[in-house]
Amino acid sequence: MAKLQPVRGTHDLLGEDARRHRHVVETALGTAARYGFSEIQTPIFEFTEVFARTLGETSDVVSKEMYTFEDRGGDRVTLRPEGTAGVARAFISEGLTQDLPLKLFYQGPMFRYERPQKGRQRQFHQIGVELLGVPAPQADIEVITVGADILDALGIFDGIILELNTLGDTESRGAYRTALVAYLMDHRDGLSEDSLRRLEVNPLRILDSKDEGDRAIVANAPSFGDYLNEASRDFYGTVKEGLDTVGIPYRQNDRLVRGLDYYCHTAYEFVTDKLGAQGTVMAGGRYDGLVETMGGPSTPGVGWAAGIERIAMMIDAPAAPARPVAVIPVGAEATITAIKLSHDLRKSGLAVEMGYSGNLGKRMKRANKLGASHAVILGETELEKGVATVRDLDTGSQTEVALDRIGDHLKAGS
């Protein structure tokens, strides 16, 4: 029989990895809560149409990367490749239009069939925020700021740069798209196969192509800034002024785009050079047309998502859990007393490990292997006296302590 292994592109979270993961989630959740974001948990799978509509039928995610299957009832469902579509679906199906503005935080696993590499797995985890119902640039400022504060609270903001761009409003975007297509048509002989396909359906995506030939052509492409109308320039100016006010530095990246038509105005990414090729830590933008694209009412929105695995690789290792106390009964009669004592100590706030089997020597070895600070030994002699022998496993010293005083004794010595 073949040895069982995790599926390629998945991994188990254990020990320090699990502590890092939890620390990222808890820090992000706590920081977002101070901004008024409440938590939402959407299903791990949705009807395929939820993602096909929002990500675009021709996108790489939909055409190459989604885990899509037919369930036993004949419905086509997809494991979620990202979080925003599920939040938008919940906004529509749960009738949340009366709750606007709506500020939501999510976290959990996502799934994409990609080539696994450092910081990118087929099952990966994200945190994210979405702010729905606010058309003003103040929403963009707040969403970017909460992201920066999360990275700062995790101790990694100093090694990260915010890249910023504007896609303008519908009018500006349309004017730019026309100019970009005209430019690219003059250079189509040098475009990659993927970019030629995108030229027909999603030309803005060519701007962030990784193909070297495409990048050389794009380097001289028109700039979004030259096609912004006054309203779009004012919107972007307010966003930058707000970031300046709260002290978040940024750099302009004219090639930072979002390819789908429901995106507008601000696009941004927090990037680093500490993760190799996978330099994006957190990415987002404004998507005023998304909810309407999904069949809901016209609803402005802005948000971001961040990969937990990538962030976890950058943070300092969280503190290990408190050292436990080992309660070691010797003999059958001491076992029930040890169970009650362990329960009482845990209720008092101490971490306790029970020595289940083996002689005293083996149980003491296990206590040392667990990193226990003390061993509480209960034998026949101790039971007769109503005490336990408490041994400090660092110094080797030991003393007899009354059973009802052990918790106080251990806390006093911690």
Instruction: Tell whether 121 is in a known binding site.
Output: no
Instruction: Tell whether 258 is in a known binding site.
Output: yes
Instruction: Tell whether 262 is in a known binding site.
Output: yes
| 156's tokens | 């990694």
Which of 170, 302, 172 is CA-nearest to residue 224? 172
Instruction: Tell whether 106 is in a known binding site.
Output: no
Which of 120, 122, 140, 119 is CA-nearest to residue 130? 140
- How far apart, in Å, are the Cα atoms of 394 and each of 104, 351, 370, 399? 47, 17, 13, 14
Instruction: Tell whether 83 is in a known binding site.
Output: yes
Residue 147 contacts residue 306 (beta carbons within 8 Å):
yes
Give residue for tokens 């820090």: 27
| 148's tokens | 């920066």
Instruction: Tell whether 215 is in a known binding site.
Output: no
**H/E run at residue 79:** strand 76-79
| 261's tokens | 């038509």
Instruction: Tell whether 112 is in a known binding site.
Output: yes
Phi and psi at 376, nearest 5°, equal -105, 110
Phi and psi at 17, nearest 5°, equal -60, -40
Instruction: Tell whether 268 is in a known binding site.
Output: no
Instruction: Tell whether 19 is in a known binding site.
Output: no
Report helix, strand and coil shares of the chain as percent, to nearest 5: 45, 20, 35
Annotated binding residues, written as ranges, equal 82-84, 112, 126, 130, 258, 262-263
Annotated binding residues for L-histidine, written as ranges, equal 82-84, 112, 126, 130, 258, 262-263
